[in-house]
Amino acid sequence: MSISELPPKQRRVYDYILDRLERSEVSPTIEEIRLNLNLRSVATVHEHLQTLERRGFIERTRHSPRSITIVRQRETHFGREVPLLGVVSAGQPIEAVLTEEHLWVPLAMCGRAGTFALRVRGDSMVEDHIQNGDIIVLEQRQTAESGETVVALIDNSEATVKRFFRDNNQIHLKPANKAYQPIVLSADRVKVQGVVKGVLHYA
């Protein structure tokens, strides 16, 4: 579920918390939420907070009156803030090393499941207009259809971006550059991490 899909009452609570954190860097108390949103009782506030926490939009530290932290991706009508999780190879697979920054991407690039981004290193996908230094935006998925462009993890250690094709018990990871050869592996060695939904080009 994305922020825009929250029920109106929970969205009001979420937006109020976010606004308070952005303006004062201090989360509101439960009583402040109740008063400012004209909610009937503290119990009602607790219910909304529990639902937001269960759905992964907030975190709370117990036994602290100002303990609410926003943990979900921020979203507007135009875009969403998603994690930029490091670098992926468009060439020979490289060790998957995750870092976490954030950037805004258009909503049209966001998947129904989780969305994340990776910076591309290499030129094996240039015929699909994925250049060295570009950022690819991915829907977090563990499966893909043949022909989709994916980030695949090989042997739980090396990541690469390629076109995905399944042939019985083999996976073909095909480049979009005639200078590179496909990578052919048994299916048990390949784990799909996400399917490419869009590309952000950087000069």
Tell me which residues are annotated as active site: 124, 162
Give the single-character DSSP code of 89: E
Chain position carrying tokens 């918390």 = 17
Q: Which distant-in-sequence residues (6+ apart) come within 8 Å of 73 by Cβ?
A: 2, 3, 80, 81, 82, 83, 115
Cα 185 from Cα 107, distance rounded (Å):
34
- For the four alpha carbons of 113, 118, 121 and 123, in that order, the dihedral sign comes to positive
CA dihedral 131, 136, 142, 148 (to 10 degrees): -50
Cα 113 from Cα 142, distance rounded (Å):
11
What is the amino acid identity at position 29?
T
